[in-house]
Amino acid sequence: MLMFENIIKIKLYLIKKLKLNFAFVKCLLILFGGLIFAQNSQLPIKPNEHYVFSQSKEGYLEIITKNGFHQLKSNWVYTDFDSLTIKNLSKLGADELQINNQNYYFLKDSTQSYLVLKGGGVVYSKLKNSLLRIDNSVPQKNQHGSSAFFYKKNLYMYGGYGFWSFKDYISFFDESTGQWEILKNKSKFFPPGRWKAIHQIVGNKLYVLGGRNNPETSILKDIALNDAFVFDFETKKFSALDNINPNLPFSYSYGPNLIIDSKKAYIGENQLVLFDFKNKKVLSYFKENLFEGIDNEKHAYKYQDTVYFIKNQKNKDFLAKVSINDIKQIEPIHYEMYVKTQNNYMIPIIVFLFVFMCWTIFKLFSYKDFLKDLIVFDEKGIYYGEKFFLLNEKQIKFIKHLNVNDQISSDELNKIISTKTYAKSHLTLLRSEFIEKLNDIYKKLSSKKLNLVEEVQNPKDNRRKIYRTTRQISEKESFFTFLFKL
């Protein structure tokens, strides 16, 4: 009986301990879960309420609605818009004018904040507790997906798509007229129009990398481009850069972007990519679910050492954050921004060299065939086919005369053979020996029994002889001359 009671006590003790351990584990799970979701916080908006995720000039995060705005300091603090703003915004329907991040760019610097309608046209200026429309325009729908930016406190947009074409110009908002104008330039080079380009203002230059359009050379539609260029606001000229590295993790913009360490950063669900246009480098910080659930339609902002973004989870929006220091603990992948392109003038040069090489080879064989059946001479001697025989000065002089005049008289030949005065019979002997030796040379060269030079009666004077060739003798043409002869 005592043993049975002890067993019961042990069982009760174990059950009690298990209950305590379960409660402890449950507490840990609650605490751990709180830590997990501490990075996400509810937004101070109603379900399905339109809003713009923005940032004050001091850096505080803001949620702009049609009635007012929420600002996050230690907690969300709400401020109503003035009555005029609420009256104007209340007239907006569920169209492209509805105030939200899907329809508007939010642009700011240290002194000004603007909402700019995507596609061009409507511009709101945010001042304290008002949202004032400052344009005299209409929804233009002409530069969707454009690169919108500030330059010297002015609003600009480059490129974009609208009315069935991609734009290749820069437009700016003229506050004096309330209209968007096309920026005049002095450029002779214009890069192809595009939308969704990666871009950044560095100093007085706009750098543009990639983007998308419909190239005329491709049957595909809306494909990523691999070029890059810069626009200089001082010279008002576009200049082409090298083709972008095809291995870059981003070749066009399709998500939130911000400035980190003076470099343009684009965010994807698993990575943050920094574009250093000044040093032509790209850094990619990759980690699975680094920005899990990020809403690509909303902006992202840097405040102090943290990146804030909107996370969509089960059709609800949350404010999420990732520490920049934590991001930099990830080993980045380094990329060269550009790849060297072959200069355009090299292509015709290569083609020319190839054609010239083929032409030279062709002419080389033709030259050999050309010389094969000809008797030619130069200052050194006489050639037939691939054979050559050295001639003396008198023989070369005689050959040259025949080349020009086809024949030579006995008197003219006497002058070539000797400058001395001999008896007629002796000169006849000298001529015969001279011609016989030249014919022997020809027979050795050609392996033929025919004479090259023959002696005949002068038709004008039967008492005298003339000498002529049985075959045409030509002066040897150089290969260089033959090469360029058509």
Question: Tens of pLDDT along 376-417?
Answer: 888 888 888 778 888 888 888 888 888 888 788 888 888 888
Contacts of 102 (CB under 8 A, 6+ apart): 297
pLDDT tens digits for 179-238? 999 999 999 999 999 999 999 999 999 999 999 999 877 777 889 999 999 999 999 999
User: Of 181, 136, 191, which Cα lies nearest the Cα of 159?
Assistant: 191
Alpha helix positions (H), 38-156: 83-90
User: Of 202, 200, 335, which Cα lies nearest the Cα of 264?
Assistant: 200
- Is pLDDT at 449 greater than 90 in this prediction? no
Which span out of 278-292, 422-436, 472-486 was modeled with the highest average pLDDT? 278-292
The vertex-477 CA angle with 366 and 452, nearest 5°, equals 95
d(CA 131, CA 271): 34
What pLDDT band is residue 95 in, cutting at 50, 70 and 90?
low
d(CA 383, CA 474): 10
d(CA 50, CA 439): 110
Say which CATH topology domain 38-339 has. Answer: Neuraminidase (2.120.10)
d(CA 119, CA 104): 9
Query: Residue 11: what pLDDT?
Result: 45
Query: Residue 14: what pLDDT?
Result: 43
d(CA 486, CA 477): 14
DSSP single-letter state for residue 150 = E
| Residue 81 vs residue 418, higher pLDDT | 81
Query: Residue 35: what pLDDT?
Result: 37
CA dihedral of 358, 361, 365, 366, whole degrees rounded to 10: 50
User: Of 122, 167, 113, 114, which Cα lies nearest the Cα of 140?
Assistant: 122
Alpha helix positions (H), 307-423: 324-327, 346-372, 393-405, 410-417
Write down the CATH number for the domain with range 373-483: 1.10.10.10
| Residue 483 vs residue 406, higher pLDDT | 406
d(CA 166, CA 128): 37
Report, as an integer, the average pLDDT of 340-367: 72
What percent of the chain clears pLDDT 90, i.e. is strictly above it?
Answer: 49
Within a 10 A sphere around the Cβ of 385, how many other Cβ atoms? 14
User: Of 428, 451, 431, 437, which Cα lies nearest the Cα of 392?
Assistant: 437
Q: Which residue has the tokens 């840097």?
A: 302
pLDDT tens digits for 15-26? 455 444 544 434
